[in-house]
Chain A
Amino acid sequence: MTAQGATAPLAIPPPAVKARPGRHVLLRWRTMVRVGLRMMVHDKLKMIGTLVGVVFAVLLSNQQAGTLMGLLKKNTMFIESSQADIWVVPPNTEQLAPGKFIPEAIAVQARGIAGVAWAEPLLFGGGQVAVPGGSSEAVTVIGTKLPGLRGGPWNMVSGTPEVLRNDDTMIFEDGVRDTLGGLNLGSVREVNGRNVQVGGFTWGLLPFGPAYAFADYDLARLLLKVESDRTNFILIGVTPGQSVTAVRDALQARFTDVQMVTTADFTKRTLRYLLVKSALGVTFGTSTAFGLIVGFVIVALTTFSAVLDNIREFGTLKAIGATNWDLAKLLFAQSIAYALLGSLIGLTLVTRVADGIRSPKFAIIITPTLAVGTTLMMIVLCIVASSFALIRLRKLEPAMVFR
C-alpha cells in the first residue's frame, strides 16, 4: 500500500509500522474496550439507567442473601462459639434443637478416651418467662457447667459469666429486655415456675427461635425438669495436637448409641437443615434470584436500547472494518464495567445499610465470599444481557450507513 503518484513531500508521517500479529490481537481488544467505555460514558443518562438496574440487583440480592447469612449465623453461632471440638448428640439429630436426651454418664466415660481434654454436659431446652402483666415469653434455657462454662455465655454486655455461681441467677439476652417486661440487672422473673434473678446480659444471641438464657447446669436441670442422669448434648474438647476426626472416630466406636460429630460437621448439618428442610433457603433464594433477574432485565433492556440508539455508529464501525467479534468485545467491556461499577456502588450501599440497621435481633452479614460472588454473578448476567444486543448487531448490515 505505498503511496503512488505522490508529487510533493508529505506532511503526513509515513504509515506507522503495524503491530505484530499477537500484539495486533491485544491492540484490537484494547481499542474496542476503550471505544466501548467511551460510548458508555458519553450517554450519561443511559449509563445511569443501567447502573441503577445493576445497583438495584446487587442491593436486593445482597440484602436478601445477607439477611439469610445473618439468620444462619445466628443459628450456628452457638455451635461455633461453644469451644467444643466434638459434639455428642442424640441419634438422627439434624440441628441444634431441644427435645432429645442422651445419658449424662457419657461425659465422664468420654474423659477416659485418649485425646479427650475435657467433656461437659449441656442442657438445652425451652423455658417460659412470666412477664409482668400476665403473659409469658419463650426463651431457650442453656444449662452450662461451672467452672468451664463450655457453651457460654459469651458476648456479655453486662455482668460476667461467673455470676451464674450465685443461686437462682440467670443471664438473659439484651435484645429481649423489653419483651421480657423491661429487664434490668437484679430484676426477678419466674422461669418455668421458679423465680430467678437477672445477673447479666449477652448481646446478639438471638437465634431464629427464642432467645438464649443461660443458667448454671444444676439450675437449668431444675428449670427444665430433666432427669438427673440425662442431658441434651455433651461438649468435648480435644487435646491440642490430636486429630479431631481420629478422636471423634474413637468416641463413636466406644459409644454406639449416640452420634459424635465434629463442630464443623454439626454446623454444616444445622445449615443444611435450615436451608433445605425449613423454608428459609427457598424463601430467601427466591427473593435473591428475583433481585438478580430484575437487574438482568434492566441491563438487557438498557443495553439493547443503547445499541438501537447508536445503531448508526455500530454500522459505521462495521463499515470501517470492525468485525462482529470486535463489537462483542466492545459490548462485553461495557457489561463488565457496568457490573463492576454497579456492584461497587451496590455493595457500598448495602454494607452502609447493614451497619445502620444492625441490632441484636437483626443482622445483614455481607461476607467477602458473598460480595465477590454477587459481583461475579452480575458480570455473567450483564454479559448475557448484552448478548441480546449482540444478536441484533450480528444481523446489522454495514450498508445501512449509506441509507
Chain B
Amino acid sequence: MKRTLENIEKQFETFQILNEEGKIINEDAMPDLSDDELKELMHRMVYTRILDQRSIALNRQGRLGFYAPTAGQEGSQLGTQYALEQEDFILPAYRDVPQLIWQGLPLYQAFLFSRGHYHGNQMPEGVHALSPQIIIGAQYTQAAGIALGMKIRGKKNVAITYTGDGGTSQGDFYEGMNFAGAYKAPAIFVVQNNRFAISVPVEKQTAATTLAQKAVAAGIEGIQVDGMDILAVYAATKEARERAINGEGPTLIETLTYRYGPHTMAGDDPTRYRTEDLDNEWEKKDPLVRFRKFLENKGLWSEEEENKVIDQAKKEIKEAIKKADEQPKQKVTDLIKNMYEELPAHLQEQMEEYKAKESK
C-alpha cells in the first residue's frame, strides 16, 4: 500500500521572489513590472499602512465603527489586487477593504461601511465587487457563482475571493472550490493564512501541513506563497488569472502572512494568544521593509518619496472622514425602501407611517 500524504505535502513549497533582505532570489519568476509599477506597489503599501493606523485611531475615538486591522497583510492583499483587471470581480472578507479601495471604492465609502451606512456598500460604477463578507467562508460559494456567470457570458474575467486560515474549516470553502473546479469556472480562491483564526493557531485548526494542499482534493491548482513578498503574490495571482480566463480552471492561493494588530477593534487582545517572540519574528518579514530595501537598491525609492505618500494619505483620509460625516444620516424609510425592488403592501404601510413621523 502506497502512502501519499507525505508526498503531496512535500510538493507545496513556499513560493518566494523577494527575500526578507530585499534580494531577488528567484529571477526567473520575476514578474514583468515597470519601474513605475514597482513604485506604485510601494506607494499603495505605504498608503494602506497609514490608512490602517488612522482607522485604528478613528475607531478608538469613536469616529469609526467595525474595523479589522490590516497591517502586516499588505503584500498579500495588494499583490493579489494589483494582478486584477478593472472588470474582474472581488468578493472580499471583512479584512479586505484595501483591495476594494484600490479597485476604486472611494475612501469615504469605506468609512461609511465601517459605520454600517448602506452607502458604504453601494459600489460605484466600474467597481465590480461585493461588500466585505462577514459570515466566514460564505463568499467562496458565491465566487463560484460569479465566476460561472462570467463563463456563461463569455467574459474574459475572473472572480477573486478571500478568506483567512479560519475560513478553510468551513464547508463553504470546500463546496465553493469543488463547484468552481467541476465547471472550470474562472475563480481565484485566496486564503490569507495569518496564522490565527481569532485566537486559534492554524496548527490547531487542521492536520494539514499547508492550506494550499486543500486544492488537491478539489482537483484544482494550489500554491503556497510568501504573503509578505508582494512580488511573489502578484506573480502567483497573475498566473492564476491567466489560467482561469483561458478555461483552465480555478486556483487556490495560500499566502503566508501575519496581522500585527488584533482580529478586530471590538475588544480582541492578541497578547492572550500570541507571544512577543512570534510578533517579532513576523515583523522581520514585513512586506514594506523588504520591498523598500529592494526599491532603494534600485534607486527607485527614498525617504522623501515615502513621506510624500504618508502626507498624501493623511490628507485624503482627513478629507474622506469629513465627507463621510457629511453623508445624510440613514432613515427608517431608507431601510424600508432598500428591502424589495417593489414595496409589498405591508412595507408600503410602514413606509407611510415613518414618512409621517420623519416629516415632523
Our verdict on whether A and B bind, yes or no, reads no
Chain B residues with a Cβ under 8 A of chain A: none
Residues of A within 8 A of B (CB): none
